[in-house]
Amino acid sequence: MSELAEVFNQFIVHQSGARSAKVIAFNKLSGGAIQDNFGLSLDIEGGVQSGLQEFVVRQDAPSGIAESLSRPEEFRVLEAAFKAGVTVPKPLWLCEDLDVSGQLFYVMTLAGGSASPRQLVKSDLTAEQRCIIVRRLGAELAKLHTVRPPMRSLDFLTLPDQGDAALSRVATYRRHLQEIAEPHPVLEWALNWLEDNTPEPGPTVLCHCDFRTGNYMMAGEKLTAILDWEFAAWSDPAEDLGWFFSRSWRFGANEREAGGVGEKRDFLDGYREAGGTDIDSAAVSYWEVMALMRWAIIALQQARRHISGEQRSLELALTGRMVAKMEFDLLTQIQELEDNQ
């Protein structure tokens, strides 16, 4: 770890034009199940970052999953979100030279606070405080959705086939499920339902595609940063809404549909008042089902990273064990939607 810290230190010295820098603290951060995140505190002399500075270095893990962007691509998405006024860590420098650390990485500012979902969900916040938080999150998503194609800096992102993000997702998840090569009849049945019940496509916008409790930082009641942009894509804005409202991201507080933190209507009010697209509630419900499907596929892929021996990890193995719960939620949620038609 000390050698890696010095590697990052020298990279930042060079990029910032500093005379020198001393490593004050360096540690691997919790979270980041797909990429490695390191906290780095430096005392810098000279250059554009002179003084005591705190950074996060985000680097490729030993293995990954197919849906994830590369670090250079993620860095460009982060730049686009920052320019759109979304509350994100400021992207500073990208390293595409494998000779530096052996992996691709980029450096961004460190955001204060905590991303712990259970800490936020189980906190003793008042109803008014929860309302303020989820309205702010809705407004952040609306800012992100102002970013639309074409955009030269994001030309690596592919557009949905024929402008229909839902059918594109179904086709992608069918392919991933076939690659896993083990039977999952509930997932196959749910994919058929998703294909047969696609809503009218919305506009194509930049979606975070992992916008949920656990991927944003809070300092008390204040939002400090939205994190983990590796799944960003051109998609339907309802995809981000459905993902945030999914049962999988309520962390036991199922009565609070907005990420286990607040009410869905407050989140949607914040989204619309900040200029977000007017989205039909049935489309949001559809994308909540799609969210369960997607999370099940990702969980299977995470398990494969462990089983294959590419990256032995108890966390990855346990993620694979969650698929049965997602299958149960798919059966339940689709039945509820059918009953309410």
Question: For residue 195, which amino acid is it?
Answer: E
How confident is the model at residue 303, as a pLDDT? 82
CA distance 91 to 81: 10
Sign of CA dihedral 129, 131, 137, 143: negative
Q: What is the CATH number of domain 117-339?
A: 3.90.1200.10
**3-state DSSP call for residue 40?**
strand
> Which tokens hold the place of 132?
């303020």
pLDDT band with cut points at 50, 70 and 90 for residue 200: very high
Q: Please, what is the average pLDDT of the chain?
A: 93
Distant-in-sequence, close-in-space partners of 211: CB < 8 Å, separation ≥ 6 = 141, 226, 240, 243, 244
Residue tagged 């930082």 (tokens): 217
Q: How far is CA 129 from CA 121, 137, 193, 274, in A?
A: 12, 13, 38, 19
Are the C-beta atoms of residues 265 and 308 closer than 8 Å to each other? no
Q: Tens of pLDDT along 278-303?
A: 899 999 999 999 999 999 998 998 88
Element (H, E) at 36: strand 35-45
In this predicted structure, the answer to whether residue 231 has a pLDDT above a threshold of 60 is yes
Q: Tens of pLDDT along 296-329?
A: 998 998 887 767 677 777 777 778 788 999 999 9
Q: Tens of pLDDT along 121-156?
A: 999 999 999 999 999 999 999 999 999 999 999 999
Topology alike, domains 2-109 and 117-339 = no
Are the C-beta atoms of residues 292 and 329 closer than 8 Å to each other? yes
pLDDT band with cut points at 50, 70 and 90 for residue 341: confident
How confident is the model at residue 162, as a pLDDT? 87
Distant-in-sequence, close-in-space partners of 281: CB < 8 Å, separation ≥ 6 = none
Spell out the CATH class of 2-109.
Answer: alpha beta
Write out the DSSP string of 194-214: HHHTPPPP---EEE-S--STT
Question: For residue 7, which amino acid is it?
Answer: V
How confident is the model at residue 64, as a pLDDT? 59
Residue range 204-214: mean pLDDT, rounded? 97
How confident is the model at residue 30, as a pLDDT? 77
In this predicted structure, the answer to whether residue 186 has a pLDDT above a threshold of 90 is yes
Q: How far is CA 154 from CA 27, 109, 206, 331, in A?
A: 31, 22, 10, 37
Where in the chain are the domains?
Answer: 2-109, 117-339
How confident is the model at residue 286, as a pLDDT? 98
Cβ-count burial 83-97 (b if 16+ within 10 Å, e if not): eeebbbbebbbbbee
